[in-house]
Amino acid sequence: MNNTIQYSVDADGIATLMIDLPGKSMNVLCAELISDLSECIDKVTTDDQVKGAVLASGKSAFVAGADLTELVTAFDRGVTAEQGYQWSWQLTGVFRKMETCGKPFAVAINGLALGGGFELCLACHYRVMSDHPKAVLGLPEVSIGLMPGAGGTQRLPRLIGVEKALPVILQGKKLSPKKALELGVVHEIAPVEELLHRAKTWLKGTPHVQAPWDVKGFKFPGGAGANTPRNAQTFMVGTSLLAANTQHNYPAPIGAISAVYEGCITPIDTGLDIESQYFGQLVSAVTARNMMRSLFVNKGAADKLARRPEGIEKSRVTKLGILGAGMMGAGIAYVSARAGIQVVLLDTDIESAERGKAYSENLFKKAIKRGYSTQEKARALLNMIHTTTEYADLEACELVIEAVFESREIKAVVTAKTEAVIPENAIFASNTSTLPITGLAEASKRPQGFIGLHFFSPVDKMPLVELIVGKKSSDEAIARGLDYIQQIRKTPIVVNDSPGFYTSRVFSTSTNEGMTMLAEGINPALIENAAKMAGLPVGPLAVMDEVTLELGYRITMQTASDLGDDYTMASGFPVIRKFVEELDRKGKRYGKGFYDYPEGEKKHLWSGLVELYPLLDEQPSAQEVIDRLLYCQALETARCFEEGVMDYAADADVGSIFGWGFPPWTGGTLSFIDTVGIKHFVAECDRMAAAYGPRFAVSDWLRQRAAAGESFYQVGTAEI
Ligand code: NAI
């Protein structure tokens, strides 16, 4: 035994298997636990004194899922589909042994049970679940590129039918205790302190020792297989929705739905075998590696502040100042108040400040409507936002975030006014989207306390905050900025100062490429649709309309004047200039841009585009358009890495997925290079540089890296 389960038997002959991984805050299905579980099942089975057993957890949650640290490196270790199959089949074997051992197993689900943790519960004969709202059941594997591999795709449909099981398996829908009871996924819900007692009461009664699907004459709820009318419709709609939503970029949901489809017309053991085979194929392939690494491991590390400088005391913001109550200031006020922080929201006139606060009021109203908040809670949080025009009100703020107009002069004035009243050791952060932090910090008397906190719009929805380190920013300022990001439950990346920082700089290459292709005569519908096929959230032309061409125009003019002779005009800028200066089609906010926005109708590409930019007789393939859109972003990221804008591949990847929606199947911009292979990547960039222009030119640094076959991540590790 490895000490992961405490085994005891009470006077009534009921064994308790208390799962409690030593030294861990959560139980995960690691190799040691699986082995201990197998031994405990054997003990229960062979000990005549033991009538049955209850599984329980010594932690506040039940079991969080499989131990991903092993799975995430499978691809890099060269694990084959057969080995992946064996991994799943071994776990399935242990669960199946428990299910068919002839003695009853109950489970006391005291908190969340996800992935393999939930699958373990499904293999028990009786399930009692805590009624606490934090206790949820779910199969989130698909969202990180995997699929259930311990019976989830077989037992859940057999328990509640295909139609109700698919959203849990494919969309990772979590089940609350109430919902789990309603669906028949658990037998009882009870206060957490009664769980063991209830489970034991069942065991001492006349418990069944077979799962429903092992009982002769078992009827599949809603019918088995695809030919029953309900299932036929479910599979038909399900597969077409999957294809539309994933564009075949994601093998995991396809594997999962295939396992359900094929496994449901076979006996359970064959079904489990089918599931393990699909699991093996997934875990040995690169998409699962990419997604597990970036969406789970590296995002998790970022959330735990992996980049926080050491030796600095943990801090909390109790009073936050926000300068500028416009779109960004209002959003930052909302997420901060929601985290229980007192907010002073300052603008030039009280009406603007109030308008900023009203934004929060609206969002709180929506939260109440959806049942996420109550009147009292929302009122209390709203009362945390104090609107003002007086700088004196910023007194005692530990952190002030500036979100006034994007003008160096205005930002300099508000910095000085703020520093006159805030404590000496307060942190001043700018939310500028384009102006280098080091330059803005020149207006500060204490540049060591000056950082960038770059939020994304809409602030309440976007999960990332880019922390920008100026030349003089101190470690303490970085640490406290990161603490604040964690406090408001966002994901941070740390980036060194550079024009456009990381996210804006890289993201703008794809909108630029989209506009360049338009000017070349590539069909705008092809550009937009290819972007969606690649898995980008929206096409580059639609994005430009959203952020407004006018903003692109202003930023370019500003950068051109800042850089003077050093400025190289972006290939897509002539398009922006034409739309802003000549056509007055400045973007969605103005009712027209690359798209038309007719009232009450869906937007559509402006018909004048093809007159302006006549279509090439020979159009490129969709794949070529996709490659141009993805390669330009990956290449720009490599340049950022080379220049030291960021120090870790993980930050680049997490930032690209959570900052602007770079396709998650790629694992992020640098994982994309590793996925296609750095040599192939460089060769393709060379080809594109020759065909489309020097923006695809590869630096010597990258070429040497490619020649040496050096990937951005060290092979076999989750992080670098
Ligand atoms: P906005 O125009 O919606 O709001 C700016 C607010 O600042 C207005 O309410 C204005 O009255 C106020 N303001 C102007 N001068 C002021 C002063 N001297 N003192 C106090 N308040 C003053 O602008 P938005 O979009 O909220 O942007 C604010 C900052 O955030 C800019 O630096 C922008 O570049 C940056 N940013 C914007 C993003 C976006 O998607 N809009 C994304 C990330 C950063």
The string of pLDDT tens digits covering residues 680-717 is: 999 999 999 999 999 999 999 999 999 999 999 876 55
* Nearest CA, atom 4, ligand 1: 326
* Strand intervals (E) in 590-707: 595-596, 604-605
Q: Say if CB 534 and CB 626 are below 8 A apart.
A: yes
Atom of ligand 1 nearest to the CA of 413: 18
**In b/e form, how buried is each residue of 189-213, taking b as 16+ CB within 10 angstroms?**
bbebebbbebbbebbeeebeeebeb
CA of 667 to the centre of ligand 1 (A): 32
The four Cα atoms 544, 550, 553, 554 give a dihedral, to 10 degrees, of -130
Helix, strand, coil abundance in the chain, percent, nearest 5: 55, 10, 35
Q: Answer whether 0.95 is exceeded by the pTM.
A: no
Distance CA 343, CA 318 (A): 9
Q: Tell me how far the alpha carbon of residue 327 lies from the centroid of ligand 1, in angstroms.
A: 7
CA distances from 578 to 508, 573, 584, 612 (A): 18, 9, 8, 10
At residue 293 the predicted structure's pLDDT band, cuts being 50, 70 and 90, is very high
Token pair belonging to 209 = 């020792």
Distance 408 CA to ligand 1 centre (A): 12
Query: Residue 328 CA: which ligand 1 atom is closest?
Result: 26
What is residue 717's predicted lDDT score, i.e. its pLDDT? 55
The answer, yes or no, to whether residue 383 has pLDDT greater than 60, is yes
Hey, which of 327, 453, 462 would you mutate to test ligand 1's pocket, going by the most ligand atoms within 8 Å of its Cβ? 327
The DSSP call for residue 255 is H
What type of residue sits at position 363?
L
pLDDT at residue 181 is higher than 80:
yes
Find out if CATH 3.20.20.370 is the number for domain 319-498: no
The yes-or-no verdict on residue 266 having pLDDT over 70 is yes
**485 pLDDT above the threshold of 90:** yes
CA of 406 from ligand 1 middle (Å) equals 6
What is the whole-number distance in angstroms between the Cα of residue 407 and the centre of ligand 1? 9
- Per-residue pLDDT of 602-659, as tens digits, reads 999 999 999 999 999 999 999 999 999 999 999 999 999 999 999 999 999 999 999 9
Which of ligand 1's atoms lies nearest the C-alpha of 430? 32
For 347-375, what is the mean pLDDT?
A: 92
Q: What is the C-alpha to C-alpha distance for residues 404 and 347, in angstroms, rounded to an integer?
A: 8
Instruction: Look up residue 54 and give its two tokens.
Output: 């209850």
Q: Best of 433, 468, 495, 558 to mutate for ligand 1, by most ligand atoms within 8 A of CB?
A: 433
Ligand 1: residues with CB < 6 A are: 323-329, 346-348, 352, 403-406, 410, 414, 431-433, 454-455, 457
The torsion angle over the Cα atoms of residues 533, 535, 537 and 538, rounded to 10 degrees, is -30
pLDDT higher than 80, residue 581: yes
According to the CATH classification, is domain 504-707 in 1.10.1040.50? Answer: yes
CA end-to-end distance (rounded Å), the chain: 33
CA quadruple 646, 648, 649, 655: dihedral sign: negative
Q: What is the mean pLDDT of residues 576-589?
A: 96
Band of pLDDT at residue 158, cut at 50, 70 and 90? very high
Query: Domain 5-284 is in which class?
Result: alpha beta
pLDDT in tens, 447-461: 999 999 999 989 999
Within 470-588, strands assigned E span 491-496
pLDDT single digits (tens) 59-92: 999 999 988 888 998 998 999 999 999 999 999 9
Question: Which residues are catalytic, by number?
Answer: 454
Nearest protein Cα to ligand 1, atom 15: 404
pLDDT at 720: 39
Question: What are the beta bridge partners of residue 496?
Answer: 469
pLDDT digits (tens, 9 = 90+) for 521-569: 999 999 999 999 999 999 999 999 999 999 899 988 988 888 888 888 9
User: Which one of 402, 405, 453 would you pick to mutate in the ligand 1 pocket, going by the greatest count of ligand atoms within 8 A of its CB?
Assistant: 405
Mean pLDDT in residue range 53-60: 97
Determine the distance separating the centroid of ligand 1 and the alpha carbon of 581, expressed in angstroms. Answer: 24
Domain ranges of the chain: 5-284, 319-498, 504-707
Rounding to the nearest 10 degrees, give the CA dihedral for residues 79, 80, 82, 86.
Answer: 10
Residue to mutate (ligand 1; options 404, 413, 459, 660; most atoms within 8 A of CB): 404
Query: Which residue has a Cα nearest atom 23 of ligand 1?
Result: 326
Ligand 1 centroid to residue 45 C-alpha, Å: 68
Cα(277)–Cα(283) distance, integer angstroms = 10
Question: What is the pLDDT averaged over residues 399-406?
Answer: 96
Tell me what the pLDDT averaged over the chain comes to.
95
Angle of the 524-534 helix axis to the 540-547 helix axis, nearest 10: 100
